[in-house]
Structure 1
Amino acid sequence: MYRFEATDAGTYWYHSHQVSHEQVLRGLLGAIVIEPATAPPDAADIDVTALLHVYGGQHTLNGAVADEHVDASPGATVRVRVINTDQGTAAVWSATPFRVVAIDGHEVNEPPDVDGRRVLIPAGGRADVSVQAPADGDAVRLRVGGARSVVIGEPGASAPPDPRQPSTTLDLLAYGTPMPLSFDASDPDRSYDYVIARRFGIIDGRPGNFWTINARMFPDVPMFGVTEGDVVVMHLRNDSGDVHPMHLHGHHVVVLSRDGVAASGSPWVVDSLDVHPGESYDIAFVADNPGIWSDHCHTLPHAVDGLVAHVMYDGVTTPFTINGDAGSQPE
């Protein structure tokens, strides 16, 4: 049994972390939506979830190999909570302007319309998209994950044709209106590097070309120590040839900069961040959730091959060790 206090409103999901590259792939997962205690004045008229997952090569939407139809009266606003449970990046787009109102459970400040651009959602990530049903009674199609759509409009309205995927991607580093952070990241208590690369070696008796963190191979990877209350800044750099959706358990991080360019939009707060080959990010978080937390790539086969480290709070211990008596294999 799991017990937790639902204090952070937003879109989330849960999944197995025991042999996760097999168990998640086969469907040990689900959506969690935490609604705010008080509905905001700009709340959508309709709220729907769009959970993406590939089963046996079939792209599904909410478990079905089919599009989702949402009955909405003309002019109604629909909040579509897109959850990417797969191993690669998912694209969301539409021929009709829409807004990205939340990322990974955190609201975007004053989001403008997205027109002629796609939104990319990392593996493990979420994006809440606000779509308005056409005033003339027709329907609008929101492509989610590339293979499926959410069609919004009056009952019986014909679905519009599939729009071509835009070649331009929405840059969340500059999307929305800036607002002050709740903490000062300019003078952190802890600063760490997290540099991803590859080299040949052996993990659990398996030879291969494995991931490294700060030039070290699993299990001899860094442990990032923190004290409760610390402001932590981490410099992520991808010196490998693959995209890595980096995911820190138990926390959200704010993106400060990418490749030296400072964030200029609404605070970009995430728990899964795609780091492309050659890219670097500066991120920050407050150590406000004591524990021993995995900090890994959410392309789960990458975690199996060593792309996993931990953030460890001072004074926190656990009897559960990897491949210990409890049989824990939390990749």
Structure 2
Amino acid sequence: MPSRRDLLRCAVVGVAVATALGAGALAWSSTLLGEYSVMDMGSGDAHAGHGGHGADGPGGHGAAEASGPGALSVTALTAPDRPADVRVELVARQGTVEVPGGRSIEGYTVNGTSPGPEIRARQGDLVEVVFVNESVADGATLHWHGIDVPNAADGVAGITQDAVPVGGRHVYRFEARDVGTYWYHSHQVSHVQVERGLLGAIVIEPAEAAARPDAARELDRTALLHIYGGQHTLNGRVADERVAAAPGTTVRVRVVNTDQGTAAVWAGVPFRVAATDGHEVHEPGEVDGQRLLIPAGGRADVTVVAPDRGVARLHVGGARSILIGDVSDAEASAPPVRQPAKTLDLLAYGAPAPLDFDPAEPDRSFDYVIARRFGIIDGRPGNFWTINGRMFPDVPMFAVTEGDVVVMHLRNDSGDVHPMHLHGHHVVVLSRDGITASGSPWVVDSLDVHPGESYDIAFVADNPGIWSDHCHTLPHAVDGLIAHVMYDGITTPFTINGEAGNRPE
């Protein structure tokens, strides 16, 4: 027979549950999203005004202004109308993914494999990709992660296009303007389709081979990291890779982190970080006894010089390695190296160089404060993410005008790391926790913000459209960690959760 104390405890719990259910019932109808447009998000109070500050300050933007007379649809924001220099067809299929060296999983392939084929173009090329959905039941798209494509080509279901249904196709066209390492992935049910393999790498090379110093003596390899069903792979295989290189040869390794968490890179020999997220580091110094951390979605080009004898081992992602040099006896001559405890600080790495814009007096200044609280989103109760204290879909809409210099203050008041990714733009990191950047301009499109950290970042609003600004730990985006940058006068005809089945996250 239960004691009086047990009965009292049950009564207290019952009251708490009833109260929670009552509060949930009050909020239920307001959080059943149904079909909606991102044009209606942000409650119209996210416009900072020229010289203003904050995403919650006075002044209205709202969908009415963006969709009024003279508004321009995202579908009109396209690449130049000229013949393509690079043409590719990518066919997405749902089914078994073979993982060489490991076990197969159920997922998605592009042209029969995962990762899909690597696309290579030269700076200035017009790239045209015909995307065919042969059998992905939920529909699919392609997002060109890190490439500042025109908005119509961004590949976000429900914002820049409808998801491509089974049997359908969609053509993406963009200019390869920025040399660097990038990747493509689906932005339809992305937390499932990316994790299960609908992705691949894309590299934009200099227009002229001699454009990069010592290019003639440099080898170039891609190292795409992905976890398939718990299996850590390098370029789709559960195995290390070997790169035969003569002594003194520089090997540029393009590390692409397609996973949901941070990847570490380190070596037993000095290396240099030549680029972050497709942008060259100015005068990169040797890194020795430190690890480089790459956010989810981020990339880094690392250069290693082949040793006079034997091989150098570059650890990529923790579980896999690339062996560089005389690979005939690689295992015996290059044992694994323990991961260093010290992390390279990119805020102070390399040599300073002038920016091509002045962030000191921005036209727009916004806060982006990440936290979480209990609530209901689309009928799902949970502990959801908030932006500036507000829960999806009532999150800020960061409104800008073309040509604005924009500064954002990111702060992470939660207990998780958030790799924040802004579509269509690259940002320069100005400071972290109040410490001003002192090295090479640190230019990224994916930035890890650790618990308790704050960053000031800046960019020029030079690519009109409606752009996602979200966490690339993709389940976090599903749970509401996503906002948007909207240009004045831009609208979209696409909706989410409607008949087209668009579910971008």
CA distance in 2, matches of 1:117, 1:304: 34
Given candidates 242, 245, 255, the residue that maps to 1:69 is 242
Given candidates 320, 325, 335, the residue that maps to 1:153 is 325
User: What is the SS of the residue equivalent to 1:21?
Assistant: helix
User: What is the SS of the residue equivalent to 1:48?
Assistant: strand
CA-CA distance at 1:322 after TM superposition: 2.0
Given candidates 130, 135, 154, the residue that maps to 2:303 is 130
Given candidates 303, 318, 325, the residue that maps to 2:477 is 303
CA distance in 1, matches of 2:431, 2:437: 5
CA-CA distance at 1:327 after TM superposition: 1.8
Q: Does 1:168 align with 2:342?
A: yes
Q: Does 1:52 align with 2:225?
A: yes
Structure 1's consecutive aligned runs of 4 or more residues displaced over 3 angstroms after TM superposition are none
CA distance in 1, matches of 2:362, 2:503: 33
Q: 1:76-225 counterparts in 2 under 5 A?
A: 76-136=249-309, 138-159=310-331, 160-225=334-399
CA distance in 2, matches of 1:282, 1:170: 19
Given candidates 185, 188, 198, the residue that maps to 1:28 is 198
TM-score (norm 1): 0.98
Amino acid at match of 1:266: S
CA-CA distance at 1:45 after TM superposition: 1.6
For residue 5 of structure 1, what is the aligned residue in structure 2?
175
RMSD of equivalent CA atoms: 0.8
Q: 1:200-279 counterparts in 2 under 5 A?
A: 200-279=374-453
CA distance in 1, matches of 2:291, 2:220: 21
**Contact (CA 8 Å) 2:429, 2:442: kept in 1 or not?**
yes
CA distance in 2, matches of 1:325, 1:247: 28
TM-score (norm 2): 0.65
CA-CA distance at 1:230 after TM superposition: 0.4
Which has the larger share of helix? 2
Q: Over alpha carbons, which structure has the higher Rg?
A: 2
**Contact (CA 8 Å) 2:272, 2:285: kept in 1 or not?**
yes
For residue 486 of structure 2, what is the aligned residue in structure 1?
312
**Contact (CA 8 Å) 2:311, 2:327: kept in 1 or not?**
no
**Contact (CA 8 Å) 2:369, 2:410: kept in 1 or not?**
yes
For residue 18 of structure 1, what is the aligned residue in structure 2?
188
Amino acid at match of 2:241: E
CA-CA distance at 1:41 after TM superposition: 2.2
Deviations 1:255-291 (A, max 9, x none): 0000000000000000000000000000000001111
CA-CA distance at 1:245 after TM superposition: 0.2
Deviations 1:88-114 (A, max 9, x none): 000000010000000000000000000
- Percent of aligned positions that are identical: 80
CA distance in 1, matches of 2:370, 2:495: 24
RCO comparison, higher one (Cα < 8 Å, 6+): 2
User: What is the SS of the residue equivalent to 1:123?
Assistant: coil
User: What is the SS of the residue equivalent to 1:288?
Assistant: coil
For residue 495 of structure 2, what is the aligned residue in structure 1?
321
User: What is the SS of the residue equivalent to 1:162?
Assistant: coil
Between Structure 1 and Structure 2, how many residues are aligned?
Answer: 330
CA distance in 2, matches of 1:304, 1:45: 41
CA distance in 2, matches of 1:41, 1:212: 46
User: What is the SS of the residue equivalent to 1:237?
Assistant: strand
Unmatched runs of 5 consecutive residues or more in structure 2 = 1-170
Q: Which moved further from structure 2: 262-271 or 153-162?
A: 153-162
CA distance in 2, matches of 1:283, 1:173: 12
Given candidates 278, 293, 299, the residue that maps to 2:467 is 293
Amino acid at match of 1:23: Q
CA-CA distance at 1:320 after TM superposition: 1.1
CA distance in 2, matches of 1:81, 1:230: 32
